[in-house]
Structure 1
Amino acid sequence: MVNGLLKTAQGAPPGTATTLLPPQEVTMKLEAMKSLVAILKSMGDWMNKQLHIPDPHSAKKPDAAENIPGPGSLPMANGNGDEAVEGLDSHSETSTEASDVSTIEQQRAYKLEFQEGISLFNRNPKKGIEFLINANKLGNSVEEIAAFLKNTSGLNKTLIGDYLGEREDFSLKVMHAYVECFDFQGLDFDEAIRVFLQGFRLPGEAQKIDRIMEKFAERYCKCNPKVFSSADTAYVLAYSVILLNTDAHGEE
C-alpha cells in the first residue's frame, strides 16, 4: 500500500500517457501525500508509546503563505487566472505536507538515537551519558545530566545509584545537583527518604552510600531547618535507617 501511495505521490514518469487531466493529477498527488503523512504520524504515535522517552522540540510548521511564489514567478496556463490560483494552492499544500513528513522523520531519528543512548547507559553509565552529549541529545552541565537521571524512564535504577555514588569530581557534582532537585519541605524524615530512593537503588558499596546519604541529610535540613539541630544528626539517622532496612531484607 505504501509503495502504491509513493508512486502516486511521485506522479507518472515523464513521457507516460495518462487519462488524467492536469488538475486531477495534482489532486491525486496531494491525496497520496496526505495518506503517507497520516501513516507516518500513526507510526510516530506508536513509537512514542513503545520508547517512553521525551519528545524533542518539534520544528515549527512552515506557514503555507511562505511557500507561495511571488508575483510573476509562476506563469498562468493559457492565460486563465483561476488555474494559476489552483496551482499555487496545490503547490503550497504539497510543500506543507512534505515538511510534515520531514519533521516526523527527524523526530523518529531523534527518538532512535536517544534510545540508543539509554541502552548504552544501561551497560555503562559514563559511556551512555558521553554518547548522548556528543549526539547533542543531552547538555553537558551537571544540572542537565541530573535532570536526565531523575526524569528519564528506561534507565537502570541500580546503575543510576552506582553513578551517583562515584567519587570522581564530575559524578560527585552531578549527584549534588540530583539531590538539589528534591524539595523535602514539610515531609517527615522517613517519608523523605522513601521519596528520595524511588528514582534509584542505593549501591552496595558503603562509601557510595555514605556520600549519597550525607548529601541527602544536608538537603533535608536545608528544606526543614527546625527538625534537626544539625545535618550531622540527620545523616547519622538516615544512614542508620538504611542499615536497618538492609539488615531486615537480608534476614528475609
Structure 2
Amino acid sequence: WAAAWDERRRQASEVRGRTSAFNRSPEAWWAARASDFGAEEAARFLLENRPALDGARMGEFLGQHEDIMSAFVRQFQLRGLGIVPAFLRVLRGLHMPGEAQQVDRFCERFGAAWG
C-alpha cells in the first residue's frame, strides 16, 4: 500500500502544481499545455479543479478561449433543469468578466447546452 500511497501523493502534488500555475498565469499555463491538451481536456481540468482555481482568472480565461468555454459548458448535465438552477450550476465558483461581448458569448454557449 506504500507504493499506492506514494503514487497518490505524487498525483496530488502534480495537481497542486498545475492549479498553482493556472492561478499565477492562465495564459502561461495554457501555452505550456496547448500542444498536449485539447479544449475538452482543458475544460475537464477547469471543472475538476474548480474549487482550487481563482474564479476571476478562470472566467477571464474562458472569455478569451471560446473553444474551451464551449467545452466547459458542455461538461454539465443541464437538460431538464430550470434556467436558474442550470445557470447557477455552471457559474458556481466562476466570475465572468464584465466585458459584454464575453458575457454574450458565454450566454450563447450556455443556451446551446441548456437547450
Structure 2-normalised TM-score? Answer: 0.81
CA distance in 1, matches of 2:103, 2:86: 16
**Aligned residues: CA RMSD:** 2.2
**What residue number does 1:203 align with?**
97
- CA-to-aligned-CA distance 1:142-167 (integer Å, 9 cap, x gap): 1111111112131111111111111x
- Aligned match for 2:29, one of 128, 131, 134: 128
User: Secondary structure, in 3 states, of the residue corresponding to 2:40?
Assistant: helix
Structure scoring higher RCO (CA < 8 A, sep ≥ 6) equals: 2
Other structure's SS at 2:72 match:
helix
Deviations along 1:39-70, one digit per CA (max 9) or x if unpaired, are xxxxxxxxxxxxxxxxxxxxxxxxxxxxxxxx
Kindly indicate whether the alpha-carbon contact (under 8 Å) linking 1:120 and 1:128 is maintained by their aligned counterparts in 2: yes
- Aligned equivalent of 1:161, options 40, 59, 63: 59
The 1-side partners of 2:5 and 2:85 are apart by 43
Percent same amino acid at aligned positions?
30
- Residue 185 of structure 1 corresponds to 79
Poorly superposed stretches of 4+, deviation over 6 Å: none
TM-score normalised over the length of structure 1: 0.40
Q: For 1:102 and 1:175, locate their aligned partners in 2 and report how far apart those are by CA, in whole Å.
A: 37
Q: CA deviation at 1:190?
A: 2.0
Runs of 5+ unmatched residues, structure 2: none
1:144 aligns with 2:41: yes
Unaligned runs of 5+ in 1: 1-99, 222-252
Secondary structure at the residue paired with 2:105?
A: helix
Count of residues in correspondence between the two structures = 113
Question: Which residue of structure 1 aligns with residue 88 of structure 2?
Answer: 194
